[in-house]
Structure 1
Amino acid sequence: MQTASTLDMLRTALAALREGGGTVGFVPTMGALHEGHLSLVRRAREDCDHVVASIFVNPTQFGEGEDLDAYPRQLAEDAAMLEAEGVALLWAPTVEAMYPAGFATSVSVAGVSAGLCGAARPGHFDGVATVVAKLFNQVRPDRAFFGEKDYQQLAVIRTMARDLDLACPQVDSIIGVPTVREADGLALSSRNRYLSADERAAAAALPAAMRETIVALESGEPVAATLAAMGERLIAAGFDQPDYVTLADADTLAPLDALGSAPARLLVAARIGGTRLIDNMAVGPARA
């Protein structure tokens, strides 16, 4: 596996990679890799001839008081994991390479970025859209792979690609990969390592409450009361008041006050201790 840390190195390595032909799959990450990230790499290897991954802790998507400085950085360990999974090229730029002096451009995606985590973290999705647009322009992959765990992020990136007529990758080539979960159902996340042993045990209440809520919604229980009851269950389990517990249209993320025939998504964000956990699950026709 080659590692590039400057744009010149990246362009040279990509040219060599493409010389023999074949498709390029791209897996953007912020590092601190776990099985969820590796599932994206494996899917990319299944679908594409070459896999490029990136590791970049993007400062523009962290707000004031968030965990930018504390975010785990373990480049050597992450690179070894990617190489073992067959990644051909790792793009690991510095902050200066991504945001050189005088950088003055931002990408903002209205609508899908407005509520949910967008409301709780102002400016977060502008940072996400900007850095992903840059990464797409730098790598120009045939396909890109993102985890469904960050469902709103996936919707923002797809909307950006559609609205800007991106060719590499096209919007239909931005692939959402199902969330990887631990044995008790908790979604894998780099932030799970912040949980104490007691918090980790209590966190299993989140996916359990979501599954119970989905059963109630699909049984025809009123949406508002069912979502409120889920919030109460989380508080009883040791969570703070949730940032949101929302039933939304799976495509637009518009809140729903009734479950209809269109695919829907249950989306949740709540803190336990100092750690903010997010999760989502399909509801209704989209459910396998």
Structure 2
Amino acid sequence: MTTTPSEIGELGAEALRDLVRRATSGAPVATYAEGESPISWEVLASGGWDQVGAVENGASLRDLVEIARAWGHGCIPLPFIPSLLAKRHFPAAAVHDGPVTLALPLAGTGDGYVPFGRFDGIRLALGGGELTDVPPGTPDPLAIVSRGIETGVRTTLSPAAAREVAVVLAAEATGGAERLLADSVAFAGEREQFGKPVGSFQAVKHHLADAAIAAELAETAVIWAAERSEEAFRGALFAVDRAVDLAELAIQVHGGLGFTWEMGLHFPLRQMMLARELIVGLESEHA
């Protein structure tokens, strides 16, 4: 067992973080979460990002965790993670040039959830030898960034693939939590009340400290989940729960502004809540 990614994970995550940073110019998530993605699919595909998880490329699940965390930091409305997973596990998806998604079990329902099912030109891997069009379904009002739909179909996943999907979804959520922590620290240092930065107040310091602990716990749990297949679902769920804890603390640090749509803290939180539902659904079928 190793807790560190290989060169593929380290360099891939570093390059992806740089791509996200340059594309968004540090803009708040709210400025692009509901609109056009600041990164085009063509940019990802030309860089071979959608194929980085291919087994023949030597990428381990631990490497994918590092890459998914880097991507989650940006909360970009683009089907990178579903395509990465589909092209890792399905030959028909691997040879497809465009984006591909999966129909994942949604906790507490008999339906499947298709991340980015409303993305133009996306194809669906169901587990057979071919890709299909995404069937009609009900648009998901919760996870706005994912542009998903609920349908009556499911992708057939092996137990090993289901565990990997759960871990990578959790890793993406921890990346979003890392973003919220960084935004909260910056806000606390800039926002002033009574002539002082709010970060100088003890209550805010405590919230930030608790948020930092939650971020460390989330990262540790998702790494453990990647390295211990028998702990994949439990570790992934624990990581997402800690990410949600962090998001709630971030909202409190931002005070009244934290609840506003324009501040945009809810976009990563919504993604985390979706990830939790999907991980529970995957565990119920494949544990």
Higher strand proportion (structure 1 or 2): 1
Q: Which has the higher contact order (CA 8 A, sep 6+)?
A: 2
Higher helix proportion (structure 1 or 2): 2
Q: Normalising by structure 2, what TM-score?
A: 0.28
Q: Normalising by structure 1, what TM-score?
A: 0.28
